[in-house]
Amino acid sequence: MTIYPEDQKRQLIEQMLPPQSRPVPEIYQATGIPKDTLYGWRRQALEKQGRPVPASGRGERRWSGQEKFAMVVEAMAMNETERAAYCRKRGLYPEQLQAWQHACEQANGAGKGKPQGVNDIQAERRRTRELERELTRKDRALAETAALLVLRKKAQAIWGTGEDE
C-alpha cells in the first residue's frame, strides 16, 4: 500500500471536484496514481462536503435518479441567484436542474393535464374498441347471411324450385 503526501492528495482532489472537474483517467495518466485510489479520494471528499456522490465509475456529471431528485428538493426553496451558486458548487447547469425538476413533476403527475403519450394511448384504445365493435357487427351480419343461404338451399331441397310446376 502506497502512502501519498497529503498536499499532493489535496491538490488532486481539488482538480477532480468542480469547478475544474478533471476526469480521473486524465489525472491517472498524468500522475500514475491508480484510478481506484483517485475515485476513492473523490468519493470521500464529496461525502465530507455533504454532496450527493455519483455512482461509482459513472463520472461526476452522470447522476442517478435519487441523486437528481435530492438536488431538485434542495434547490426548490432557493431563488435564482442561490440556485445558480448551488449549481456552480456542484458542477451543474441551472438548465439541467430545471429539466430534472420538470421530469420529477411529470413523474408525479404535477404537470398540467396528462402527458401526450397517455393521450395517444387512450385514443388508440378507444379506436381499437370501436374497430372491435364494428368487426363483431359485421361477423354477426355475415353469420346471418350464411344462415339464410343455408335455409334457402334446404327449402329448395325439400319443396323443390318454383320452376318445376
Q: How far apart are CA 118 and CA 91, in angstroms?
A: 35
Contact 41, 16 (CB under 8 A): yes
Which one has a higher pLDDT value, 51 or 31?
31
**Termini Cα distance of the chain:** 116
Tens of pLDDT along 116-140? 677 888 899 999 999 999 999 999 9
What's the rounded Cα separation, in Å, for the pair 35 and 41? Answer: 10
113 band by pLDDT with thresholds 50, 70 and 90? low
pLDDT higher than 80, residue 8: yes
pTM listed for this prediction: 0.35
Average pLDDT, the chain: 82
Cis peptide before 19 (omega within 30 of 0): yes
Distance, CA of 22 to CA of 147 (rounded, Å)? 81
Are 93 and 87 spatial neighbours (Cβ–Cβ below 8 Å)? Answer: yes
In the predicted structure, residue 59 carries a pLDDT above the cut 50: no
